[in-house]
Structure 1
Amino acid sequence: PWPLVAALGGLSLTFGGVLFMHNYEGGGELLCLGVITILYVMFTWWRDIIREALFEGQHTLAVQKGLRMGMILFIVSEVMFFFAFFWAFFTSSISPVFNIGGVWPPTHIVAISPWGLPFLNTVLLLSSGASVTWAHHAIIAGFKKEAMLGLYVTLIFAIAFTGMQAFEYANAPFSMSDGVYGSVFYMATGFHGFHVIIGTIFLAVCT
């Protein structure tokens, strides 16, 4: 039943989020229900997959191939998801319309310098990619101590990145409601930060 329950949880999460952001009554409760449902499905579905693989021996070569294909399709969907945000950014920045002043950034927006916190966050992300690759190769080679060290370093980088992004949001000179610039900025960086948080949780479980 987990695909159906996950779909219902995603539906509740989406509708609840929209209702909550527009201050409709019951939106917050529906959003919380969606979050709880998704978290419950994540725990129970992955628990069942582990049981099927380790104790029941149901992961035949055909099943493993299906799981790999599912992960590939998931990654492709993620690429297309963020491609939409980049499309919105380039469409708005290359050919800015008159109602934002005909320039990019819009006339009323004070843009964040890319050489401050954004540059530091980029360094943290690249460093975390290097450290998790180190941990991956250590796992393959059977070096448990080095693998754990690599994972711990990656977690430190990820937590630092999330903290820096939260600080950047708190001190940003514009909000999500400031036209297309604010919308694209917060949607793209917000969903990216959400992915970092999910990855941090996954790696924390692995350690």
Structure 2
Amino acid sequence: MSGQNESPYYFVPHPSRHPIMAACGLLVMLSSLASWVNGHSFGPIGTFVGLLFLLFVLWHWFGDAISESEGGMYGKRVDTSYRWSMSWFIFSEVMFFAAFFGALFYARQIALHELGSLDYKLIWPDFSAVWPNNGPAALVPHFRAMVPWPLPTINTALLLSSGATLTVAHHAIREDHRKKAIGWMAATVLLGVIFLFCQGYEYFHAYNELNLTLSSGVYGSTFFLLTGFHGFHVFLGGTMLAVVMVRLIRGHFTAEHHFAFEGAAWYWHFVDVVWLGLYVVVYWL
């Protein structure tokens, strides 16, 4: 925020069309995605259209916010508001993933052992309460579980490295070394892109070589739920960092005022921490 000052006292923007438009885009994208998962032919097209519309809305929404910032409308009070807002947003994301980890915990530690107890031996005498499994009646086609080597471990190294390069970029901008910050930010975005390509190959390997799909019982559904939503968050975080990098190139930030950089960095470090939990719980345990 190169033009940050103390006037106005607290900037209040005019009523905006962006929230309702973004909500419509999300509704189309997610409902179409659910239809796609359930085999409806219009699902892929609807998901793509909804995503494009959402990106279009976000492009203009972020553009308005950047114009307001560069126009000197954001003072310290707005900066504080943004910091609290980003903190609560990340907290909501923590609870989002806590629910998914809770679903995995329930399936593995409660439901699985309940089905393997003596109460159910007369119904499923051959069922063994080991994780993963293909269900008490073997209704799920046989599949092989995902192992931590090599792709998950490589992805872990990629994300940890991206956290390090982002930290170097942050220190560079605080020292007013803009070119250095741009270089390390570019490295961070590149590592995120490589992570997504590796995860895409991992899914291809799971479907075609391990027969591990969304229909592979509770193991398949929780695996793709946790890793897929995390991958989506990597995409969002990478998009934030790419926008910040472009703004760095345009000279929008100073050593004192660069909360857009910091907010994106907070989110990226959160994504790193979530992946470490996934790496241990999903791939190793």
Larger Rg: 2
1:170–1:24 Cα change, 3 Å: closer
Q: Hey, what's the Cα distance between the residues in 2 that align with 1:163 and 1:19? A: 25
Q: Hey, what's the Cα distance between the residues in 1 that align with 2:186 and 2:75? A: 33
How much does 1:116 deviate?
A: 2.1
Deviates more, 1:147-156 or 1:163-172: 147-156
The residue that corresponds to 1:47 in the other structure is 63
Structure 1 vs Structure 2 CA RMSD: 2.1
Q: Hey, what's the Cα distance between the residues in 1 that align with 2:181 and 2:82? A: 25
- Mark the runs of 5 or more structure 2 residues left unpaired by the alignment: 1-16, 116-123, 135-141, 247-285
The residue that corresponds to 2:27 in the other structure is 11
Tell whether 2:145 aligns with 1:129: no
Tell whether 2:126 aligns with 1:88: no
> Which one-letter code corresponds to 1:92 in the other structure?
A
Pairs within 5 Å for 1:2-41: 2-24=18-40, 26-41=42-57
How much does 1:78 deviate?
A: 0.9
How much does 1:26 deviate?
A: 4.1
Paired residue for 1:203, among 241, 244, 253? Answer: 241
How much does 1:145 deviate?
A: 2.8
The residue that corresponds to 2:131 in the other structure is 104
Q: Hey, what's the Cα distance between the residues in 1 that align with 2:128 and 2:217? A: 12
SS state at 1:190 partner? helix
Pairs within 5 Å for 1:47-196: 47-55=63-71, 57-95=72-110, 96=112, 97-98=114-115, 101-107=128-134, 108-172=142-206, 173=210, 174-196=212-234
How much does 1:25 deviate?
A: 5.5
1:61–1:30 Cα change, 3 Å: same
How much does 1:201 deviate?
A: 2.7
Higher relative CO (Cα under 8 Å, sequence separation at least 6) belongs to 2
> Which one-letter code corresponds to 2:53 in the other structure?
T
Deviates more, 1:100-109 or 1:40-49: 100-109
SS state at 2:199 partner? helix
> Which one-letter code corresponds to 1:144 in the other structure?
R
How much does 1:140 deviate?
A: 0.8
1:32–1:117 Cα change, 3 Å: closer
> Which one-letter code corresponds to 1:189 in the other structure?
T
> Which one-letter code corresponds to 1:46 in the other structure?
F
How much does 1:127 deviate?
A: 0.8
> Which one-letter code corresponds to 1:75 in the other structure?
I
How much does 1:91 deviate?
A: 1.3
In the superposition, the TM-score normalised over structure 1's length comes to 0.89
Q: Hey, what's the Cα distance between the residues in 2 that align with 1:52 and 1:65? A: 16
Q: Hey, what's the Cα distance between the residues in 2 that align with 1:85 and 1:161? A: 21
Deviations 1:151-204 (A, max 9, x none): 232233222212221111111111111011011111111111122122223333
> Which one-letter code corresponds to 1:120 in the other structure?
I
> Which one-letter code corresponds to 2:98 in the other structure?
F
Deviations 1:12-60 (A, max 9, x none): 22212112322336444432332122111111111111111212x3323
1:60–1:203 Cα change, 3 Å: closer
Deviates more, 1:125-134 or 1:67-76: 67-76
Deviates more, 1:121-130 or 1:86-95: 86-95
Deviates more, 1:197-206 or 1:170-179: 197-206
Q: Hey, what's the Cα distance between the residues in 2 that align with 1:148 and 1:65? A: 25
Q: Hey, what's the Cα distance between the residues in 1 that align with 2:69 and 2:153? A: 42
Count of residues in Structure 1 that have an aligned counterpart in Structure 2: 206
**4+ aligned runs moved over 3 Å, structure 1:** 23-30
SS state at 2:54 partner? helix
